[in-house]
Amino acid sequence: MESCLLNYFILNKEVKSTCDFNPFLFEQGNGVYEIVRITDQKPLFLEEHIERFFQSLKLAEIQSGLSSKQIRSRLKALIEINQLKNGNIRFQHLAHPQNDNLFFAWITPTFYPSENDFKTGVKLLSLIAERKNPNAKRDNLPVREQANKLIQQNDVFEVLLINKDGFVTEGSRSNIFFVEGEKIITPPISEVLPGVTRSKIIGIAKENKVVLIEYPVHFEDVGSFDSVFLSGTSIKILPVNQIDNLNFAPKNPVITKVQQLYAELSTHYLNGFSW
C-alpha cells in the first residue's frame, strides 16, 4: 500500500492535504509512474524521468493530456510547499475505472542503502518471474508483492528476476550488472525496465572507454562473474556480495570507478539544474 509523507500531495494541478490521500485508489486503477530522487531540493535527472514516463504511457496505450512543463511545475510546487530537502517523489498517472484520468505526485518513503551496504555489498535471492511489458514502469502488483514477501521472509536486500527460459532480467526494483575482469555485462534493454541510472552507467562507460556489453546472461552462468552490482534511483550503484548461495567480491576497481564517475555526473547535473 502506498504511503504519502509530509503535509501535502498533488492531485492533478491542486495541492491537497496528506489527510486526503487515498492509497486504495492505486489498487484499482491502471497506473504508470516514476520515482525521482530529490537532493538539496533539486530532482536528479528530471528530464530523463519525465521522458521515460511518457514512453511508459505510450507503451501502455494511455492518453494523459499532460505536458512536460505541467509535470515540472507540479513537482516544483510539491517540493516547495513541503520544504523537501532530500528524499523521493513519486508521480503517477492513474487511469481509474470510475474517475477521469488522475495525476498524483507525493513524497514517498525511501529505501536507501546504508553506508555498510555500499562497503560490503548486499544479498539477493533469485525468483522465477517476469514483468509484463518490462520497458514500461507500471504497477506490477503480483510480481512486486511476491518479491517483497521474499525480501521480508529471507532478510535479503533485493530479489533477482529470472525469466521462464532461465535468463536473468532485472531486480524487482533495480537493474543488474555483472563484472568479468574489466568488462561489464548487463541484460539487453528489450528484457528490462530502461532505468535512468542504468542509462547513465552505459553513457559513463562509453565516454570513459569502459567495455560494457548488453548480452543475455543465463542464471547458470552467474557464478562465473567476479563481481555484481545493482543500479537504481534510490540505491545509485550498489555492490552485491551474494546471490542465493553464490558469493561475489563487493570490492572491485571497475565498480569503484563507475561509482565515482556516476557521483561526478550527478553533482554536475545538480549544480547546473534550474526549473
Enter the DSSP assignment of 218.
B
pLDDT at 28 over 70: no
* CA–CA separation, 69 and 66 (whole Å): 8
Q: What is the mean pLDDT of residues 251-259?
A: 98
pLDDT at 2 over 90: no
Give the total number of structural domains in the chain: 2
CA 144 to chain centre: 13
Query: Does 84 share its domain with 121?
Result: no
What local confidence, expressed as pLDDT, does residue 144 receive? 83
**CA pseudo-torsion sign 58, 148, 129, 203:** positive
* Residue 29 pLDDT exceeds 80: no
Q: Are 199 and 232 in contact (CB under 8 A)?
A: no
The stretch 45-56 carries a mean pLDDT of 97
Q: What is the CATH number of the domain that holds 215?
A: 3.20.10.10
The number of helices, as runs of H, and strands, as runs of E, in the chain is: 6, 15
- Look at residue 109 in the predicted model and tell me its pLDDT: 95
Same domain (yes/no): 92, 185: no
Determine the average pLDDT of the residues in 186-214.
Answer: 96
Grid coordinates representing 76? 516544483
User: pLDDT tens across 80-128, in order?
Assistant: 999 999 999 999 998 766 667 899 999 999 989 999 999 999 999 999 9
pLDDT, tens digit (0-9, with 9 covering 90-100), for 141-190? 688 889 999 999 999 999 999 999 999 999 999 999 999 999 999 999 99
State the pLDDT at residue 51: 97
Q: Are residues 191 and 240 in the same domain?
A: yes
Cell of 221: 552462468
| Of residues 77, 107, 93, the one with CA closest to residue 29 | 93
Query: How far is residue 156's CA from residue 246's CA, in Å, rounded to a whole number?
Result: 14
Q: Are 141 and 150 in contact (CB under 8 A)?
A: no
Classify residue 222 by its DSSP letter. G
Inside any domain, residue 275: no
Domain that holds residue 33: 5-108
Three cell numbers written together for 4: 504519502
Question: End of a domain among 56, 82, 108?
Answer: 108
